């Protein structure tokens, strides 16, 4: 790639208001990338789904505090933090989750435009989430996403049990699993990780961002902004197109 990030070491600079770049020299060419991977909660969509489900159980403050600490990277064991949060969802109905999906979940600004632009350039799209298939399946269908990986909430008699279901690839989609899925998808497509873009906002996105050719932080936690090649601190997801042509 002509703009290989590793070949340019520079201080972070404000490329445009609310758009910070480091270790890249724009403009980058979309033709150099074949895959874009997105986190879902607070990246592609406007909410943290686990927090909104917890609202139905009257436990939003408790769950949100754990989520926030996990996203800042203050909880070293992400899997355990998610198990703790999901346990607090016990007894929430599927109807309540459907209400969250219907009334609260929205795509973040610029999501449709960015995904459409990447697809038009021939990129495949991957959604990797520490959230749940109940929501990722909806977003997948909405944006015609090619590949997804996320967690399955266990449901019995229309109610959450407070547990998750193990899947063939493992138990929980954490940061390490996001990284594995990105690399696995690159391998499946016959491309190098340097031909992938990874976008996220929380600490559990850092492993996949570290192996991608281009890493993008979207309204992210400080630790994530510091490590990303592009940090979108104002405006929509499609602001990455200011750097990527």
Q: What is the CATH number of the domain that holds 115?
A: 3.40.50.1000
Q: Known catalytic residue: 174?
A: no
pLDDT 10s per residue in the chain (245 long)? 434 444 344 589 999 999 999 999 999 999 999 999 999 999 999 999 999 999 988 999 999 999 999 999 999 899 999 999 999 999 999 999 999 999 999 999 999 999 999 999 999 999 999 999 999 999 999 999 999 999 999 999 999 999 999 999 999 999 999 999 999 999 999 999 999 999 999 999 999 999 999 999 999 999 999 999 999 999 999 999 999 99
User: What is the 3-class SS of the chain, one letter each residue?
Assistant: CCCCHHHCCCCCEEEECCEEECCCCCCECHHHCCEEEECCECCCECCCHHHHHHHHCCCHHHHHHHHHHHHCCCCCCHHHHHHHHHHCCCCCEHHHHHHHHHHCCCECCCHHHHHHHHHHCCCEEEEEEEEEHHHHHHHHHHHCCCEEEEEEEEEECCEEEEEEECECCECCCCHHHHHHHHHHHHHHHCCCHHHEEEEECCHHHHHHHHHCCEEEEECCCHHHHHHCCEEECCCCHHHHHHCEC
- Active-site residue identified among 39, 174, 205, 238: 39
How many domains, the chain?
Answer: 1
- Structural domain for 159, as ranges: 5-242
- Active-site residue identified among 32, 41, 187, 242: 41
Q: Known catalytic residue: 242?
A: no
């Amino acid at each position: 790639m002509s703009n290989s990030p590793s070949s340019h070491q520079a201080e972070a600079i404000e490329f445009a208001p609310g758009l910070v770049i480091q270790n890249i020299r724009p403009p980058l060419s979309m033709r150099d990338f074949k895959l874009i991977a997105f986190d879902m909660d607070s990246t592609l969509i406007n909410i943290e789904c686990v927090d909104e489900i917890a609202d139905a159980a009257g436990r939003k403050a408790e769950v949100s505090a754990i989520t926030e600490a996990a996203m800042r990277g203050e909880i070293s064991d992400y899997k355990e933090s998610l198990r703790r949060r999901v346990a607090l969802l016990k007894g929430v109905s599927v109807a309540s989750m459907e209400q969250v999906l219907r009334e609260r979940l929205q795509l973040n600004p610029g999501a449709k435009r960015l995904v459409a632009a990447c697809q038009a350039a021939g990129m495949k799209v991957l959604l990797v989430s520490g959230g749940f298939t109940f929501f990722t399946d909806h977003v997948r269908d909405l944006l015609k996403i090619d590949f997804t990986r996320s967690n399955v909430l266990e449901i019995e008699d229309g109610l959450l049990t407070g547990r998750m279901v193990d899947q063939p690839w493992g138990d929980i989609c954490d940061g390490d699993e996001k990284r594995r899925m990105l690399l696995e998808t690159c391998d499946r497509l016959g491309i190098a990780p340097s031909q992938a873009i990874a976008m996220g906002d929380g600490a559990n996105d850092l492993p996949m961002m570290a192996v991608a050719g281009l890493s993008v932080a979207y309204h992210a936690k400080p630790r994530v902004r510091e490590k990303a090649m592009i940090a979108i601190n104002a405006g929509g997801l499609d602001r990455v197109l200011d750097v990527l042509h």
